[in-house]
Amino acid sequence: MVGVDIAGPWRDRLADHLRERLGGELVAAFVIDAPAGGLAACAIGVVHQGLPGPDHVGVFGQVQTVVTEQPFRRRGYGRAVTCALVEWLTGQGCTLLNLATSDAGRELYVSLGFTSNPCSMRLIARPYHRA
């Protein structure tokens, strides 16, 4: 979502989605509260069941929405919530974790062992309408 216009009704759809699924076996959020209310940092992850292969059981973890609010950056919050999420996804049986990084996030992810995947490709199969 970094560098993208984030306004729009998708936020309500996301809130509904999280209300239904957060705390279950497939979606988790790790957060640090801001002292004055709201969140200082968060990391959300989703477990996806894919196909087993020779070197992978087929359970994928998607790391998403890793954000520390500006005033709280460089205090270790991003690392703390991301580490907790990686541990949770691994505990859910994920043997491969995927994420899309930003320039700001790259050092953090590399320090946790993530590597770039030159084989990765994607197709935006259907234009996503925000309305």
Ligand X SMILES: CC(C)(COP(=O)(O)OP(=O)(O)OC[C@H]1O[C@@H](n2cnc3c(N)ncnc32)[C@H](O)[C@@H]1OP(=O)(O)O)[C@@H](O)C(=O)NCCC(=O)NCCS
73 binds ligand X (CB under 6 A): yes
57 binds ligand X (CB under 6 A): no
In the list 68, 86, 89, 114, the residue contacting ligand X (rule: CB under 6 A) is: 68
In the list 30, 85, 105, 114, the residue contacting ligand X (rule: CB under 6 A) is: 105
**CA angle, residues 44, 64, 12, in degrees to nearest 5:** 75
Count other Cβ atoms within 10 Å, centred on residue 35. 7
116 binds ligand X (CB under 6 A): no
Q: List residues bridging with 42 in a β-sheet.
A: 31, 67
66 binds ligand X (CB under 6 A): yes
In the list 59, 84, 96, 108, the residue contacting ligand X (rule: CB under 6 A) is: 108
42 binds ligand X (CB under 6 A): no
**CA angle, residues 109, 113, 114, in degrees to nearest 5:** 55
Indicate the residue whose CB is closest to ligand X.
78
104 binds ligand X (CB under 6 A): yes
Cα–Cα distances (Å) from 92 to 57, 79, 95, 110, in that order, read 12, 20, 9, 22
Distance of alpha carbon 6 from alpha carbon 29, whole angstroms = 19
Q: Which residues bind ligand X (CB under 6 A)?
A: 2, 41, 66-68, 73-79, 101-102, 104-105, 107-108, 111
